[in-house]
Amino acid sequence: MKVATKQKIKHILLGKTLKDGLIGKTALYLLLLIIGFVYLYPMIKMFTYSIKDLSDLVDPTVDWIPTKLYLDNYKTSWIVLNYGKTLLFSLSVTLVPAFLQTVTTSITGYALAKFKVKGKAILFGIILMTYLVPSQVYMIPRFVLFDKFGILDSAWAIIFPATFGQGLSSAIFILIFYQFFRMQPHALDESAEIDGANSYQIFMKIGVPLALPAYLTAFLFSFVWYWNETYISSLFLGSDLFTLQLKLLNFSSQFSLAEGLSQQAVNEAIKYSATILIILPVLLVYVIMQKWFVEGIDRTGVTGE
Amino acid sequence: MTKKPLKRAVRQNLIGWSFLSIWVIGFLIFTMIPLFTSLYYSMSKVVLSGEGIQVTFVWFDNYKQIFSSSEGFNFLQSVSDFAIEILFKVPIITVFAIIIAVMLNQDMKGRGFFRAIYFLPVIIASGPVINQLVYQGAATIPLIEEMGILDFINNTFTEALARPIANIFSELIVILWFSGVQILLFIAALQKIDRATYEAAMIDGAGPWESFWKITIPALKSMVLVSVIFTIINLATFSENDAIQHIKTNMFALETGFGFSSAIAWLYFIALAIILGLSFLLFGAFAKERGRR
C-alpha cells in the first residue's frame, strides 16, 4: 500500500517522460516566464520610464514603479512628432506599398506555381538572388533614376518599386505565394477550365479567394516591415518628409525645432514616450491580428522544403 | 472559320509570362539595370552638378581609394566589426531560437500566449526603436554592467576584438529580439516529427535526454541553414548596421560621392557573399550529414 502511494506521488511529480510530470511542467512554465520577462525587459523599462516625471527620473529609489502617473511626456512627444500628421504620412508610405507589393508578388507566385513556363529555374534563381543582394548595391542608381523621373522626395519613390514587386523582401513574399498556390488542388483549375473559364478568370475566381489567408499574412508582414524601415525611406524621402520612425531617429533635433517647447530639455522619459507612440500602431495591429502573424508562417508553408 | 488554337505548351508559356511580366519589368527597371549601373559607377568618378550628373570612367580608382583613405578605412573597420559580430550573434540567436522552440513545442497551456510574446519584437524592432533602447541602456540586463563584464572584455581582448564583443553584451537582449521568426521556423520543423517516433524510442528504453539528442535535434538540422541565412541577411540589412550607414553617408560627402559609395557597396556585397558562402558550406554539410532524407 505504502509503496503504491509512493509510486503514485513519484508519477505525478516526475511523470512518464520527465516532461509531463509536475516538476517538469513547473520548471517549463517558470523558465518560459523568466526568459519572457528578460526578453521583454527593454519594453517594460521603456514603458515605466515613459510615465515618470522629472523628480522620479532623478530619484534613485524610484526604479520600477513611478510614484505617480505622469502623462506630460506623451503630450510633449506628441507635439514633437507632430503625431497626427506624421502618422497619416507614415501610413501612406506603408499601407499603400504593402498592399501593392502583396498584389504583385501574389501574381508572380501564382504564375510560378501554376504554369509551365520556360526558364522557370533561372527565374527562381534570380528571385532568390534579389533576396541575397543587399539593396545598398543598387540603391544609388535607383536614386539617380528616381531623380530623373522626378519622384524623389515623395511617397512615389517608395510606392513604385513595391508596385513592380521590387520592394522590401519581395522575394520572400513571392516564395510564400508560390508555396501556397502550389498546394491548391489542380483539379479545381481543370474543372473551371472545362467550364470555359480562361486563366485570368481562374486566378481571380479560384486562386485568389482560396489564398486569402496567404494574402492577409503577406500584407501584414509587408506592412510591419515597411513601417519599421528607415534606411531606404530616409534616402528617398529627402530631408523634408518624415515618417514617424524618421522623426524618432532625429528626435533630438526635431525636439529643438518643435514650437513652444523651448523652455524644456529633452530627457529619456520623453524619448521613451515617443518610442512607445511609434510602436503603438503596429502593436495594436499585432494584438488584434496576432494569430495571422504567428500561425501565418506555418500555414503558408514557407517552412516546407 | 475560327483560328486554330495554339498548342497547350505555347499557351501555358504565353499566359505564364503575361502573369510574370509585371515583376520582370520591375526587375529590369528597378533592380537589374541599377545593378549594372552601380557596377559602372563604382569604377567611375560621378560628379553632381546643376545640369545633371557627369560620369567619367576611372577603372579601379575608387577601390584603391577604399584602401588608402580614412573614409575607406572606417568602412573596412565597420565591415570587419560586422563579420566578428556575425560570428557571435548568429550562434547566440540560433541556439536561443532552438531552446525556445523546443520549450514551446511541449504540450502545455498558454502556448499561444508565449508564442505571441516571443514573436512580439519582430513587430516593433525598427532601427530607431532599437537605437533608443541601446542608447538609453535598456537593451541589456543591468547585471552585465554590475558584474563588470564589459571591463573584463576591454582588459582581456585587443581593441579591435573588444569593441564588437562589448557591443554584443551591451545589447544582449535586443540581439535575442532578432530570433522571433527563427523560433517559428524551428517550431514548424519540430511539429513535423511524428509523435510515434518518441513513443517507439521510449519503448526501446530511451530516456528524454536521448530522445532529445537523437530525435529532436536531427529533425532541426535541415532548418538550421535556413535560419542562419535569414539571420545573416536580417542583420546585414538592418538599418542601424554601421557598414551600410557608411554607404549612405559617403554618397553626399565632399571627399567621396556616388562612385566611391558604389564601390564600397559592392565590396560590402562581396564580403556578405563570402560570409553566406561559408555558412552554406558549414551548415549545408551539417544539415546533410544526419538530416532527414
pLDDT digits 0-9 by tens, B252-290: 888 888 999 999 999 999 999 999 999 999 888 776 665
Q: Which of B129, B216, B232 to mutate to test the interface with A (most CBs of A within 10 A)?
A: B129
Reference B141, options A45, A213, A268; nearest CA is: A45
Tell me if chain B has a CB within 8 Å of the CB of A199.
yes
Query: Which stretches does DSSP call E strand in chain B?
Result: 44-49, 52-57
Evaluate whether A34 touches B103 at the Cβ level (below 8 Å).
no
Distance from CA of A173 to the nearest CA of B (A): 12
Residue B234, pLDDT score: 92
Residue B3, pLDDT score: 63
Residue A297 above 70 pLDDT?
no
Mean pLDDT of B205-218: 86
What are the grid coordinates assigned to A101, written together?
Answer: 507589393
SS3 B42: helix
Position of cell 541589456?
B140
Q: Which of B103, B117, B120 to mutate to test the interface with A (most CBs of A within 10 A)?
A: B120
Distance from CA of A225 to the nearest CA of B (A): 8
Residue A1, pLDDT score: 56
Residue A263, pLDDT score: 64
SS3 B241: coil
| CB atoms near residue A119 (< 10 Å) | 13
Reference A39, options B175, B181, B96, B173; nearest CA is: B173
Q: In this predicted structure, which of A140-144, A294-298, B40-44, B65-69 has the lowest mean pLDDT?
A: A294-298
Residue A62, pLDDT score: 72
Confidence of residue A18 (pLDDT cuts 50, 70, 90): low
Residue A145, pLDDT score: 93
Smallest Cβ distance to B128: which of A110, A199, A249? Answer: A249
Distance from CA of A290 to the nearest CA of B (A): 7
**Chain B, 34-53: which have a CB under 8 Å from a chain A CB?**
34-35, 37-38, 41, 53
Residue A299, pLDDT score: 65
Q: In this predicted structure, which of B75-89, B98-112, B145-159 has the lowest mean pLDDT?
A: B145-159
Q: Which CATH class is domain B62-290?
A: mainly alpha
Q: In this predicted structure, which of A56-70, A82-96, A194-208, B202-216 has the lowest mean pLDDT?
A: A56-70
As a whole number of angstroms, the distance between CA A181 and CA A299 comes to 12
Residue B121 above 80 pLDDT?
yes
DSSP-derived secondary structure letter, B69:
S
Smallest Cβ distance to A42: which of B138, B239, B251? Answer: B138
Reference A48, options A300, A252, A276; nearest CA is: A276
- Enumerate the residues of chain B whose CB falls inside 8 A of the CB of residue A300: none
Q: What is the pLDDT of residues A152-161, one digit of tens each?
A: 999 999 999 9
What are the grid coordinates assigned to B247, written together?
Answer: 554607404
Smallest Cβ distance to B22: which of A107, A137, A224? Answer: A107
Q: In this predicted structure, which of A192-201, B86-95, B144-153 has the lowest mean pLDDT?
A: B144-153
Q: Do B128 and A248 touch (CB under 8 A)?
A: yes
Distance from CA of B97 to the nearest CA of A (A): 12
Residue B8 above 70 pLDDT?
yes
**Considering only alpha carbons, which residue of chain A is nearest residue B10?**
A117
Evaluate whether B23 touches A100 at the Cβ level (below 8 Å).
no
The larger pLDDT score, comparing residue A215 to residue A55, is at: A215
Tell me if chain B has a CB within 8 Å of the CB of A93.
no
Q: What percent of chain B has pLDDT over 90?
A: 39
B291, with CB counted inside 10 A (0-12, 13-18, 19+), is middle
Q: Average pLDDT of chain A?
A: 87
Tell me if chain B has a CB within 8 Å of the CB of A267.
no
The answer to whether the complex's ipTM is over 0.90 is: no
Q: Do A133 and B251 touch (CB under 8 A)?
A: no
As a whole number of angstroms, the distance between CA B175 and CA B177 comes to 5
Mean pLDDT of A247-257: 85
**Considering only alpha carbons, which residue of chain A is nearest residue B265?**
A137
Element (H, E) at B40: helix B33-42
Q: What is the DSSP string of chain A?
A: -HHHHHHHHHHHHHTTTSSSSHHHHHHHHHHHHHHHHHHHHHHHHHHHHHT--HHHHH-TT--SS-SS---HHHHHHHHHHTHHHHHHHHHHTTHHHHHHHHHHHHHHHHHHHH---TTHHHHHHHHHHHHHS-THHHHHHHHHHHHHHT-TTSTHHHHHHHHTT-STTHHHHHHHHHHHHHHS-HHHHHHHHHTT--HHHHIIIIIHHHTHHHHHHHHHHHHHHHHH--HHHHHHSTTT---HHHHHHTHHHHHHHSTT-TT----HHHHHHHHHHHHHHHHHHHHHHHHHHHHHHHHTTTT--
Residue B30 above 50 pLDDT?
yes
Residue B148 above 90 pLDDT?
no
Position of cell 507566385?
A109
Q: In this predicted structure, which of A187-191, B54-58, B163-167, B196-200 has the lowest mean pLDDT?
A: B163-167
As a whole number of angstroms, the distance between CA B12 and CA A199 comes to 9
Confidence of residue B291 (pLDDT cuts 50, 70, 90): very low
Residue A17, pLDDT score: 61
Residue B160, pLDDT score: 76
Residue A25 above 90 pLDDT?
no
Q: Do B19 and A298 touch (CB under 8 A)?
A: no
Residue A6 above 90 pLDDT?
no
Residue B292, pLDDT score: 46
As a whole number of angstroms, the distance between CA B139 and CA B120 comes to 15
Reference A294, options B185, B125, B90, B129; nearest CA is: B185
Residue B134 above 90 pLDDT?
no
Q: In this predicted structure, which of A108-112, A274-278, B150-154 has the lowest mean pLDDT?
A: B150-154
The larger pLDDT score, comparing residue A2 to residue B1, is at: A2
A237, with CB counted inside 10 A (0-12, 13-18, 19+), is buried
Q: Do B31 and A42 touch (CB under 8 A)?
A: no
Confidence of residue B293 (pLDDT cuts 50, 70, 90): very low
The larger pLDDT score, comparing residue A298 to residue A145, is at: A145
- Enumerate the residues of chain B whose CB falls inside 8 A of the CB of residue A118: 13
Give the start-to-end residue ranges of the domains of chain B. Answer: 62-290
Q: Do B133 and A46 touch (CB under 8 A)?
A: yes
Residue A183, pLDDT score: 87
Q: How far is CA A299 from CA A179, B119, B127, B188, B216, in A?
A: 10, 16, 29, 10, 22
Distance, CA of B261 to chain centre: 21
